[in-house]
Structure 1
Amino acid sequence: MATFYEAYRAKEFLSKRMLKRKGIVGIGVGYADPKHPNKGAGINVYTDKIGPAAKRRLLNALNAAISIKKTPVPMRLITTGPAFATAAPSAGAITQAEYRRRVRPVPAGYSVSGLNGGAGTAGLIVSRDGQLFLASNNHVLSIDNFHTTPTVQPGQADGGTVANDHIGRLHEFVPLRRVGNNYLDAATSLPRNNRLLDPRYGVDRRTVQGVLLPSVGSRVFSESRTSGRRPGVVESVNTDILVRYGDPYRDLLGTIQFRNQTIIRGHFAEGDSGVVWLQDTSFGGTQAVAMSFAGFNLGTRSISFPMSWFNQAFRTQVAQPGGRTAHIRKINVRGNYKYAQPLTKKELNSIKVVRAARRK
């Protein structure tokens, strides 16, 4: 039976050699058998839609590669289709009317966008030095990976306009890279004033108590612009994955690589980008776990990064009503590879949070 550390080491080895092989979308760490967690850890290989013969060839190649490590780690091939991220919901997308309406002040979970013609989801309301920010994805709040743009709620795809629905502007973001590893698709919007934001979550206006790193098998839930309220489960962590970008970044980025992401099994559709998944705990109430930025074209899973990474990079905290911020409960999971890991100092230094440039 493989440990999660052994599975992580095997994933690192395979990812360097096999991630860009035709048919492979991502490689991560999960349960060897999700129905029987006591069977230990394994490697999840996410694949494009390929035929039985191609799948056998791919599995043989993966087994041949991993045999070099001389550590037996079970492997599962999971057919998902390619991973994609877009801020432009298709015309026929099924949406939840409640989450597409204009709402003031704006809580997490509702439609929002920059002036990119699309719509995503307001992930969470965060705070730094008393200033509130709306947290979501770069590709939801930005237009070109560089310039600032007004933020409207609801998003433009849901009828939002600057004249009637302007709530703020793109403030800071992590530029997405065509070459090298990406860790976050993330940005903040600075509101015109703090009163425009409601530091609570979803239809029930739930107060989030803190952040928790995702762990394999954890049961989570979320509320978002397209899918509304739904459950999910963390299927894999520390997943290296290739994500194809659509509008507004189709020509600018194409397909780019993300490292050590979290895969959550649960419905995800266009317009859900930016959603934050929550977990109810016995020790600390409702915790923010991960922010999704992409999904697979079969719609059954989302690709996310830990919300704690967002707070590390942007130096923010989860905001709460009354000007409070969430109490941070220290749980040491470093070295426990059933969990997503905190960003290392080297990784954090490689993530450049920049201020959006004003147009001249």
Structure 2
Amino acid sequence: MAQHLEAARAVLAGVKRDLMRKANVVAVGIGYKTAGGVQSEEIAIICSVEKKLPGADLPAADRVPDSFQGIPTDVIETGRIVAQQDPTGKIRPVPGGVSVGHRAITAGTLGCWVKKNGEFHALSNNHVLADSNRASIGDAILQPGPHDSGVYPRDRIAELSAFIPIQFGGPDNLVDAAIARAVEVENGGSGCAFAGAIARVLNRGAAAAGRKTRLKPVKISAIEDVVRNEILNIGVVSELAEATLGMEVKKMGRTTGLTFGAVQQIDATVKVDYGNQSAFFVDQIITTDMSQGGDSGSAVVAKNDNKLVALLFAGSDTITVMNRIQNVFSALGITF
């Protein structure tokens, strides 16, 4: 099995560019061949297409060969693959798996909390936390996201601290990822009666002296009041693992909640639509359909042991696409 997998990887590396140039092809990767609706144990190069057409209806240059160097191919219809945006309430402290977003977007999902320089950071996608490269470091991140009634500054929980720029229409990408540093939040209104009483006395004195400024008691929440270091309905996640073909996985997302799936392809090259532009991603993982718009940013973990394997960022009507988590952690310089 391992020998066949390595052989398929070597062949795919040499042909993926040509395959991705074919009209209708939106992704290529390594998976198990399916025949008559039944998945076999035969390793194949999987070509995902927007719409599966008879070979006779395609120009010769756009047909996918039956095999490459002895490695069979399989063509599956997935539809167009798009970056996914859009449980939705305000939750404090904030766990992973809930609505979050940059002030300028609708809403995505906070995958999980990670550490950088000893501080907690929210992990999600660039297109969720950094508005697809348009944001600036220090921008406010809201929970819930704006689409779910998140309002600045009331719902600010973090500030954008780093993102990996998405290369549109150019070089290959490995990740759609960003992090935001958790911040202490101000809650209007006094946290204690004594502070309120002192403020009232001082304000009366200020009024008598003719000053217009007034004191307002403010409760400052500690980071522990903001960060709940677990994923909603999943629990604590503290280790990484490699995704393998057939692995059963799960995620908690803003839109579809807790869902389960299975890894169908690894080493995938994918063309992802971001609305008015597209980007190519390599070394991706493709699973069965387990997400909808708004689930972007979800942390994907192994079903049995909660080890983190991927960061969800795109999908179609039939599949979900995610970054290898090792690439995400390396690119952002993060740990647990």
Unmatched tracts of structure 1, length 5 or more: 90-98, 319-360
Deviations 1:172-214 (A, max 9, x none): 000011211000000001111332111101135x111301011
Structure-2 residue corresponding to 1:216: 245
Larger Rg: 2
Match of 1:305 in 2: 323
Q: Alpha-carbon deviations, 1:248-295, whole Å to 9, x = none?
A: xx3xxx0111111100113221101001111144xxx32011011111
- Contact kept in structure 1, 2:105 and 2:128, CA below 8 Å: no
Q: Where do residues 27-38 of structure 1 align in structure 2 (5 Å cutoff)?
A: 27-33=28-34
Query: Residues 122 and 60 from structure 1, CA distance in 2 versus in 1: closer, same or farther, beyond 3 angstroms?
Result: closer
| 1:51 corresponds to | 53
Aligned-residue Cα RMSD (Å) equals 2.2
In the other structure, the counterpart of 1:202 is 232
Deviations 1:2-30 (A, max 9, x none): 81112112222221212021110011001
Q: Alpha carbons of 1:12 and 1:191: their partners in 2 closer, same or farther (altered >3 Å)?
A: same
Change (3 A) 1:59 1:216: farther
Alpha carbons 1:14, 1:62 under 8 Å: kept: no
Q: Once the 2 structures are TM-superposed, how far is the Cα of residue 310 of structure 1 from its aligned partner?
A: 1.5
Q: Judging changes above 3 Å, is the alpha-carbon distance between structure 1 residues 58 and 140 closer, same or farther for their aligned structure 2 residues?
A: farther
Paired residues for 1:1-360 under 5 Å: 3-33=4-34, 39-53=41-55, 61-63=63-65, 67=68, 71-87=69-85, 89=86, 99-143=87-131, 145=133, 146-148=135-137, 149-178=139-168, 179-193=170-184, 194-195=223-224, 196-203=226-233, 206-246=235-275, 250=276, 254-281=277-304, 285-296=305-316, 298=317, 300-318=318-336
Aligned mates of 2:297, 2:64 — CA distance in 1: 33
Q: How far, CA to CA, are the matches of 2:117 and 2:303 in structure 1?
A: 27
Residue type at the aligned position of 2:6: Y
Q: Deviations over 1:95-114 (max 9, x none)?
A: xxxx1010011111000000
Distance in 2 (CA, whole Å) between partners of 1:167 and 1:235 is 36
> Aligned partners of 2:232 and 2:127: how far apart in 1?
21
Conserved? CA contact 2:98–2:110, under 8 Å: yes
Between the aligned partners of 1:303 and 1:155, the Cα distance in structure 2 is 22
Q: Please tell me the residue identity of whatever aligns with 1:271.
A: G
> Structure 2 counterpart of 1:223, which letter?
M
Flag the 1:60–1:147 CA change in 2: closer, same or farther, 3 A: closer
Structure 2 unaligned runs (5+)?
Answer: 185-222
Q: Is the 8 A contact 2:126 2:132 kept in 1?
A: no
CA distance in 2, matches of 1:55, 1:256: 27
Q: What TM-score comes out, normalization by structure 1 length?
A: 0.76
Q: How does the TM-score come out when normalised to structure 2? A: 0.81
What SS does the aligned partner of 1:210 have?
A: coil
Pick closer, same or farther for the CA change 1:58–1:259 going to 2, 3 Å: farther
Q: Would you say the 8 A contact 1:115–1:142 is kept in 2?
A: no
User: 1:203 & 1:100 partners in 2: Cα distance?
Assistant: 14
Once the two structures are superposed, residues 309-329 of structure 1 have per-residue CA deviations (whole angstroms, 9 ceiling, x without a partner) of: 2211222122xxxxxxxxxxx
Structure 1 residues 144 and 138: CA distance shift in structure 2, 3 A: closer
Distance 1:55 1:175 in 2: 39
- CA drift of 1:33 comes to 4.1
- CA displacement at 1:144 relative to structure 2: 5.2
**In the aligned structure 2, how far is the partner of 1:203 from the partner of 1:235?**
24
Q: Report the count of equivalent residues.
A: 291
In 1, the alpha carbon distance for the partners of 2:77 and 2:131 equals 32
Measure, in 2, the Cα distance between the counterparts of 1:239 and 1:143: 25
Q: CA deviation at 1:142?
A: 1.3
Question: SS of the residue aligned with 1:21?
Answer: coil
Distance across 1 between alignment mates of 2:179 and 2:19 = 34
The 2-side partners of 1:58 and 1:269 are apart by 35
Deviation at 1:62, TM superposition (A): 2.3
Distance 1:125 1:56 in 2: 47
